[in-house]
Amino acid sequence: MGIAFDSAPDRPEHIEAILNGLDRYNPETTTIFQDYVTQQCEDRTYDCYANLALLKLYQFNPHLTRDEPVTNILVKALTLARLNARLERCAYRDFWDLLDSDDLYADLVADVNGFEELMRVRIAVTVGQGCRAVERPVAEGWLNLRGQDFEAFVREICGWGVDDGGGGGGGRVVVPVNKENEAKGTVVREEVRFEQFGRVVRRAYEQPA
Amino acid sequence: MALYQRAPYETANRQDLVEDESDREEEALVEDYKEQVHFDDGMSELDRTASFGGAAAGGGPQDMQAQLAAAATPLEYGAALDTKFASYDNYCNLFHYILNSEGPVDLEVPTYYWAWDVIDEFIYQFESFCRYRNRIARTESTSEEAQLLRDNPNTWGCYSVLNVLYSLIQRSQINEQLDAMKRNEDPNQVAGEYGNRPLYRMLGYFSIIGLLRVHCLLGDFSLALKTLDDIELNKKAMFARVMAAHFTTYYYVGFSYMMMRRYADAIRMFSHILVYVSRTKNFQKNAQYDSVSKKNDQMYGLIAICVAFNPTKLDDTIHTALREKYGDQLVRLQRGGPEALPLFEDLFRSACPKFISPTPPDFDTPDLNVDPVDHHCKIFMEEVKNTMWSPTVKSYLKLYTTMDLKKLAGFLDVEPEKLRSWLLVNKQRSRQVRWSEGALLDGEVVNGSDLDYAMQDDLIHISEAKVGRRLVDWYLRNLARTY
């Protein structure tokens, strides 16, 4: 958490050099950035700062714009408008329904290696922050996985438990307690610093009026 | 100077933060401003002598003086297109002369504020030209003016403007200088032959702030904030010497934070500068104050939006002013729901910067040209819609320590699935990146809300952060009375 948006651990040096200089506005660097986007799609890395620089080049030089990198960047950044709106609303079931509704979406995300899994991980992070336990059907809907696939993802990737509910109901997913989902009440206590007493102390040294 | 150093905020205690800042800095602010006004008087006298000297020396310097003065002067309202083109050429000539002469040039600048004024006016003309061009393309794409604009796509082009700003920054080595200052080293060591001169140093410095503004106008808020990496926002900063620069910086930084959903940081920025203005307005006697006053109102609008998203206890001065200006509206914003949507939109439109598009519009298909303000407003409103139920949900949750999700869904008259989503949205939004030290983009993820909860199946566990009694202030105030 709290990682600066402009840092990317896997950023190659030549990209770093372009980003830090005026070449980031140079239309000739467009192809370099494009290749870099392709590479990110393949090896599941993400460099927001570099991708924004490419989008800016496109914005300034509309004639250079190519749909494919743009789509890939947007898919990577989850800003395909309609899909993103559903994610933002945490309407995960709707998100998957929309994604599956049209081959168009499948085409759009095709270049991004492991798109669905990356989405699931992202959704799981949010769910893990907000929940301690989720009924299995609800969680299945959110992650768009059923049966063994579901159990494997929840246990292995998320590290959560699956409780089969004694065979009666649908069972539930148990999320171990973490800092975000414990929801512990706190009392904010007043913090007193010595400087606040500066005037009083100064006064003590002054002559009585 | 220790007065100005900001206490670390790692406690994430908002009340503390606002009160401290205003208390400790109050007197210092006023003193600083008195000094500035005084300082200004001194400078203008100097200027007068300088320009007499210039006149005596003959025609050349006088022409230059006229050109320098013109560069810092606003165009007439509704100036003709020719004038706008000519003004662009003037700027190009002037900056070309400053940047590309052999070695640094010697210029007698008309006023102390000149460097700020010239950058400010340059960007203002760029901004208004872009908006004007966009409007012509949308509404009168067949007019004579449209043709002229179509034939000159590079006049007031985004590339040229950025080029000027970046070049001034590079020539003056200002980022290197600021970096050295941060490390308590001598900036002159790294300034180079250009950066050693006040003219270049000031132009470079204010170009950084100009760049912040241009990136913000283009909607690139993170890059806008990154531009200020080497500037420390405190009273020692050079921009604090020029009121309008001080003000502009905080407006754009605050706005960028707001658009990045870092409301606590946005509120901190707006509060700081609004307190500053309210404390110094009695000394404001010049024309600068007029331009400040409009932005001042805009910032009250923005702070109202931020507080609605992120309930915060504000500085008393600001709270009172906000209630006077918005009163009833503020309550409605904070209540949320669909009724608040038009209010959010109106407020946003009146308070946002005048966004621009970096490329010339499409004169052949006027309908394709979207007003950039509409575009950004739409993005902003998506977020408002997305979170508009949060206040209602929170108001219910506050009443319980545990609550059944289906029961709450019944109270709110929505599907349980939808409520589950709302709860997750609200939970995510309560986690915000908040600055504590370092560059503007740095920060930690903290819980900005006094309410927290977690779902266990359909049972919602709710907890509240209570603020303990605050005694020190009260104690000190009463003690002071006995002096």
- Quote ipTM for the complex: 0.77
The tokens for A151 are: 């159990």
Burial environment of residue A196 by CB neighbours within 10 A (0 to 12, 13 to 18, 19 or more):
middle
Q: Which of B236, B225, B229 is nearest to B269 (CA)?
A: B225
How would residue B3 be classed by pLDDT, with cut points 50, 70 and 90? very low
Residues of A in contact with B463 (CB under 8 A): 183-186
Chain B nearest C-alpha distance from A47 (Å) = 14
Question: Is residue B473 a contact partner of residue B19, using CB atoms and an 8 Å limit?
Answer: yes
- Phi, then psi, of A163 in degrees rounded to 5: -110, 120
* Degrees, nearest 5: CA angle B77-B82-B87: 75
**Mean pLDDT score, B305-328:** 89
Tokens of B440: 């503007």
Q: With an 8 Å Cβ cutoff, are B441 and A6 in contact?
A: yes
- Taking the CA of residue B311 and the nearest CA in chain A, the distance in Å comes to 16
Q: Which residues pair with B445 in a beta bridge?
A: B433
Band of pLDDT at residue B12, cut at 50, 70 and 90? very low
The whole-angstrom separation of Cα B70 and Cα B286 is: 19
DSSP class of B153 = T
pLDDT tens digits, one per residue of B254-280: 999 999 999 999 999 999 999 888 887
- Convert the pLDDT of each residue in A124-161 to its tens digit: 888 888 888 888 888 888 988 888 888 888 888 888 88
Phi and psi for B155 in degrees, rounded to 5? -70, 135
Q: Is A16 helix (H, G, I), strand (E, B) or coil?
A: helix
Q: Provide the pLDDT confidence category of residue B242 given band limits of 50, 70 and 90.
A: confident
Cβ neighbours of B427 in A, within 8 Å: 126, 129-130, 180
Q: How far apart are CA B384 and CA B379, in angstroms?
A: 9
pLDDT(B5) > 60: no
The answer to whether residue A13 scores a pLDDT higher than 90 is no
The SS3 assignment for B159 reads helix
Subunit contact A5:B11, Cβ cutoff 8 A: no
A78: pLDDT strictly greater than 80: no
| Higher local confidence (pLDDT), B228 or B447 | B228
- What per-residue confidence (pLDDT) applies to B22? 46
Q: Does B407 touch chain A (CB under 8 A)?
A: no
Give the list of residues 6+ apart from residue B187 with CB closer than 8 angstroms, or none. Answer: B177, B178, B180, B181, B195
Name the nearest CA neighbour of B446 among B328, B310, B289: B310
User: Environment class of residue B317 by beta-carbon count within 10 Å: exposed (0-12), middle (13-18) or buried (19+)?
Assistant: middle
Q: Which residue has the higher pLDDT, B162 or B14?
A: B162
Closest residue to B162, CB basis, from A25, A62, A203: A25
For residue B29, what pLDDT band results from cuts at 50, 70 and 90?
low
Between B104 and B234, residue with greater pLDDT: B104
pLDDT at A169 over 80: no
pLDDT band for position B32 (cuts 50, 70, 90): low
Q: What is the pLDDT of residue B126?
A: 94
Residue-level pLDDT at B301: 94
Q: Which amino acid is at B210?
A: G
**Cα B476 from chain centroid (whole Å):** 35
Q: How far apart are alpha carbons B354 and B218 in whole angstroms?
A: 9
Q: Does B364 touch chain A (CB under 8 A)?
A: no
Amino acid at B133: R
Q: Pick A78 or B469 by higher pLDDT.
A: B469
**CA-nearest residue of chain B to A136?**
B457
Q: Quickly state the pLDDT bin for B37 (edges 50, 70, 90).
A: very low
CA A34 to chain CA centroid, nearest Å: 22
Token pair recorded at residue B256 = 């960028």
| pLDDT for the residue A168 | 52
DSSP state of A175: P
Structure tokens at A1: 């958490």
Q: Which one is predicted more confidently, B7 or B209?
A: B209
Q: Is residue B315 pLDDT above 60, yes or no?
A: yes
Q: What is the pTM of this model?
A: 0.82
* pLDDT above 90 (res B221): yes
Q: pLDDT tens-digit profile of A101-125?
A: 878 788 878 778 888 888 888 888 8
Scan residues 409-448 of B and list those with Cβ closer than 8 Å to A.
417-418, 420-425, 427-428, 431, 433, 439, 441-445
pLDDT at position B218 is 93
Q: Which residues contact B262 (CB under 8 A, 6 or more apart)?
A: B432, B433, B434, B435, B443
Q: pLDDT, tens digit, for every residue of B111-120?
A: 778 899 999 9
Give, to the nearest 10 degrees, the angle between helix B390-397 and helix B416-430: 90
Give residue A209's pLDDT.
54
Alpha helix ranges (H) inside B140-173: 144-151, 158-172
Are A187 and B467 in contact (CB < 8 Å)? yes
> Does the structure show a pLDDT above 70 at B393?
yes
Residue indicated by tokens 């110094």: B280
Q: pLDDT digits over B225-234, tens only?
A: 999 988 888 7
Q: What is the DSSP letter of A164?
A: -
List CB contacts of B32: < 8 A, sequence separation 6 or more: B235, B240
Which residue from B428, B433, B443 is facing A126, i.e. has the nearest CB?
Answer: B428
How many residues are there in chain A?
A: 209
- In whole angstroms, give the CA distance from residue A109 to residue A116: 9
> Does the pLDDT of residue A7 top 80, yes or no?
no
Lowest mean pLDDT among A2-16, B239-253, B454-468: A2-16
d(CA B112, CA B39): 10
pLDDT at residue B385 tops 60: yes
Q: Higher pLDDT residue, B58 or B133? A: B133
Q: How far is CA A24 from the centre of its chain?
A: 25
Say what the pLDDT of residue B351 is: 94
Q: Which two tokens stand for residue B163?
A: 């080029």
In whole angstroms, what is the distance from residue B72 CA to residue B70 CA?
5
CB distance from B455 to chain A under 8 Å? yes
Question: Helix, strand, or coil here: A163?
Answer: strand
Average pLDDT estimate for A56-76: 81
Whether residues A200 and B466 touch (CB distance < 8 A) is answered with no
Chain A residues in contact with B21 (beta carbon < 8 A): none
Give the per-residue pLDDT at B39.
Answer: 41
Query: Quick one: pLDDT at residue B190?
Result: 87
For B326, the 3-state DSSP assignment is helix
Give me the residues of B, 213-242, that contact A with CB < 8 A. 218, 220, 222-223, 226
Among the partner residues A2, A56, A172, nearest to B457 by beta-carbon distance: A172
**What is the distance between the alpha carbons of residues B423 and B441, in angstroms, rounded to a whole number?**
27
Chain-wide mean pLDDT for chain B? 81
Q: Are A25 and A57 in contact (CB under 8 A)?
A: yes
Going by C-beta distance under 8 Å and a sequence separation of 6 or more, which residues neighbour residue A175?
A: A127, A128, A131, A132, A133, A134, A158, A160, A181
Residue B256's pLDDT is 95
The mean per-residue pLDDT over the stretch B387-408 comes to 90
Mean pLDDT of chain A: 81
> Please, which pLDDT band fits residue B285 given cuts at 50, 70 and 90?
low
Interface test with A, best of B387, B457, B479, B481 (most A CBs within 10 A): B457
Res. B430 pLDDT band, cuts 50 70 90: confident
DSSP 8-state code for residue B445 = E
Q: How confident is the model at residue B58 (pLDDT cuts 50, 70, 90)?
A: very low
Query: According to the model, what pLDDT value does residue A162 have?
Result: 85
Query: Are B393 and B422 in contact, with CB atoms under 8 Å apart?
Result: yes
